[in-house]
Structure 1
């Protein structure tokens, strides 16, 4: 229990009077949470049978303190954290936390960031990656990028709303949206403040699904409102830039762009092409990339109907040259395309 205005002398004559006679008090938190004079009176009255203390209002306490001298009070120094074992444990924990932070891992012990247990961090880790990459994809689909002000995020999950802490995910979506269009480094600590500074309003919606709550999330959807898109097919029916993703076997996937369903891993970078659905398109685009020594790691095609419009999502390990992208754009059946760097 910390010592705050709300907890100062929280144990006093009034609270002792409400206790069952013979209660035992142990305080290893902060001395100021107990009214020491009231504790002496409670001990003398038999309300408190015994007290064990290692903290006091004034430290060190006076040698003639009635509390220290009381026959039913046991006092010890507040030295639990100063043992050799405790100091060694703290040193190891600090070293591991610093190494983890330098490696870009989430910190479960940060005092000025969302507090999430190590178990939850482990479970959410692939979704945290997914959240940031969806933010990066969405903002790169906006013409000009910097005009983003309204962000809507939807989470679908079979878990109850109270069992899903989205603060980390919100921070990473903010990071993904802001960093590609600015020189600001966004982290868990400054995400909300940075968003507020830039006039970015992010609202969240949680949709509860039927089914097994084995996974914390089914999908994450990011929508950017009141913007122009440089890839028209990324617009939803309501005119928002929309991307959706999910985690499959621990790997983040892009599963929807606008109203088109796709399936491509969010590794490396992505080329999106809107095209006429016709034979040979996959081979044609693949050949252009192969001739430029660009390795394709994943490819998916989502279409409205056979021989109608389709979107090809291509995951690439390398950044294609301008000439290579120009060749893709010159394919007669390609109506629009965009390169998105992750």
Structure 2
């Protein structure tokens, strides 16, 4: 039974969904240090909100932990790089709080434009200061949106409904797509800022977006502009923002998030009357909390029970249908990687995966990751899987390259793997027969047809009569059964390669006797998983 740690409060719909799937729950909120590390090591998955920090130190010895799910969007409280290194998939729930966060942004926009908090406080003090709180009409004003993901687009839709002109900056949003949403796409942020009456940010917090709006960029906004941040603290430099507000260059700011939460009591922004602030309430609606809980729970149920990956931030997402369609290709690619790992000599420099035919029409990223995992898993002491394989390869200076050609060649589908070491280049290719049987159809320059499983004796030799009989006699003496044999050659009497699929491991003495034949130039024993056996990480 899979075990899941719930380290922060999760609404009951999510907990119920996990229990119904037969998952054991460990509900302990507020764990830190050694207690949290112990709980993580004992769990197959963990669901966190913003309260729990999953650090590299906590993941140093992750035990059986396979997945971290953030019930929310931002993953800056999770060391994604460390999780990836240990083969732990990190997923988030981008859809659950989209509407609530967009609504909160519009609420903050209106509160900022009409001085709602200050006017409310004044009235409660017995004052009637109508002239002091003259606001700004939103209709006809220009709203700049930095980041046109789910939330940014929802904010744009609502702002358009308020008759605002919406400008957007997002390097990953095509201008024609933005135009369909009623957004004018501005390719450069520095070109967007001078045109804004209001500016709101909706990007994740990354190394690239930290201090995205610094003193220089805030100065590009028109005098009297207002800024909002309901995304992540740190996207706007808080010291620079405070100075721009104090100087009068900016008329106001609305903030739901801060670099440090909660902010210190003497935080400069908290002392300014033209700042509207809330304690990270973007997703704090009953509907959003329940939606996020269900979504987070479903992600873990799908992953732990069916291997389905969705909304992952450190690997390709794979839905249930695609996973089943890719299953045999993933299996084949990993076996080709394992084959290369046992046959290659020298330091691996580069691996090229060439996909042709049916497989080339599918998403091959997961297939390439499976090959890389097979290539590395027997060479590295750390656990290797499809999450961390390509990262581990890059760290070791191994280039992983893909080529695709949807046109069919000699086979309806073909995966060809070429591995270059500091000594030579090794080639192997596999295909599917009848859309279900894995076959090895090429090694080096030789074409053949061999099972791609179990114990394989692979040897190159001069094509002469009697060689197979010689080997069969030796193996018979040592009670090694040959299940299947295939030979590939370029011309009669020339160099050739043979593969014997064996039912049991040949003893070292038998291999020594085989090697004595003068026409055998090289010999390797390759061990692959039995037919149909998938890795634990799939």
1:154 aligned onto 2:154: no
TM superposition shift of 1:302: 0.8
CA RMSD of aligned residues (A): 3.3
TM superposition shift of 1:79: 7.4
TM superposition shift of 1:340: 1.7
Partner of 2:432: 247
Contact 1:269–1:340 (8 Å) recurs in 2: yes
Aligned pair in 2 of structure 1 residues 16, 170: CA closer, same or farther (>3 Å)? same
Secondary structure of the structure 2 residue equivalent to 1:10? helix
Secondary structure of the structure 2 residue equivalent to 1:11? helix
Aligned pair in 2 of structure 1 residues 335, 172: CA closer, same or farther (>3 Å)? same
Contact 1:222–1:243 (8 Å) recurs in 2: yes
Partner of 1:204: 402
d(CA) in 2 for partners of 1:263, 1:82: 50
Contact 1:138–1:224 (8 Å) recurs in 2: yes
Partner of 1:174: 372
Aligned pair in 2 of structure 1 residues 200, 58: CA closer, same or farther (>3 Å)? closer
Contact 1:178–1:184 (8 Å) recurs in 2: no
d(CA) in 1 for partners of 2:492, 2:389: 44
TM superposition shift of 1:218: 1.0
Secondary structure of the structure 2 residue equivalent to 1:17? coil
**Equivalent in 477, 492, 517 of residue 331 of structure 1:** 517
Q: Cα deviations across residues 198-231 of structure 1 (Å, max 9, x unaligned)?
A: 11111111123148xxx9x711111122432xxx
Q: Cα deviations across residues 67-105 of structure 1 (Å, max 9, x unaligned)?
A: xxxxxxxxx95576599xx79xx68x85564255xxxxx
1:223 aligned onto 2:418: yes
Q: Cα deviations across residues 113-135 of structure 1 (Å, max 9, x unaligned)?
A: 31122112112111111111111
Secondary structure of the structure 2 residue equivalent to 1:282? helix
d(CA) in 1 for partners of 2:380, 2:282: 50
TM superposition shift of 1:110: 7.0
Aligned pair in 2 of structure 1 residues 273, 18: CA closer, same or farther (>3 Å)? same
Contact 1:277–1:309 (8 Å) recurs in 2: yes
**Equivalent in 276, 287, 294 of residue 480 of structure 2:** 294
Q: Cα deviations across residues 239-270 of structure 1 (Å, max 9, x unaligned)?
A: 52111111223122211111011211111121
Partner of 1:117: 319
Secondary structure of the structure 2 residue equivalent to 1:324? helix
d(CA) in 2 for partners of 1:168, 1:298: 31
**Equivalent in 156, 160, 179 of residue 10 of structure 1:** 156
| Matched length | 266
Aligned pair in 2 of structure 1 residues 263, 78: CA closer, same or farther (>3 Å)? same
Partner of 2:330: 128
Contact 1:154–1:221 (8 Å) recurs in 2: yes
Contact 2:344–2:421 (8 Å) recurs in 1: no
Secondary structure of the structure 1 residue equivalent to 2:403? strand
Q: Any gaps of 5 or more consecutive residues in structure 2?
A: 1-94, 103-145, 166-229, 232-280, 529-538
Secondary structure of the structure 2 residue equivalent to 1:114? coil
d(CA) in 2 for partners of 1:196, 1:15: 47
d(CA) in 2 for partners of 1:266, 1:223: 17
Partner of 1:108: 309
Contact 1:218–1:247 (8 Å) recurs in 2: yes
Partner of 1:303: 489
Aligned pair in 2 of structure 1 residues 319, 96: CA closer, same or farther (>3 Å)? farther
Partner of 1:235: none
d(CA) in 2 for partners of 1:178, 1:165: 22
Normalising by the residue count of structure 1, what TM-score does the alignment of the two structures yield? Answer: 0.67
TM superposition shift of 1:289: 2.1
Secondary structure of the structure 2 residue equivalent to 1:299? strand
TM superposition shift of 1:311: 0.9
Contact 1:227–1:241 (8 Å) recurs in 2: no
Aligned pair in 2 of structure 1 residues 59, 304: CA closer, same or farther (>3 Å)? closer
Q: Cα deviations across residues 143-175 of structure 1 (Å, max 9, x unaligned)?
A: 24xx1011111111157x6x4211111111111
Q: How does 1:264-279 map to 2 (within 5 A)?
A: 264-279=450-465
d(CA) in 2 for partners of 1:290, 1:184: 39
**Equivalent in 502, 511, 516 of residue 316 of structure 1:** 502
d(CA) in 2 for partners of 1:309, 1:288: 22
Partner of 2:111: none
Aligned pair in 2 of structure 1 residues 97, 150: CA closer, same or farther (>3 Å)? closer
**Equivalent in 393, 413, 423 of residue 195 of structure 1:** 393
Contact 2:308–2:319 (8 Å) recurs in 1: no
d(CA) in 2 for partners of 1:82, 1:168: 27
Aligned pair in 2 of structure 1 residues 156, 278: CA closer, same or farther (>3 Å)? same
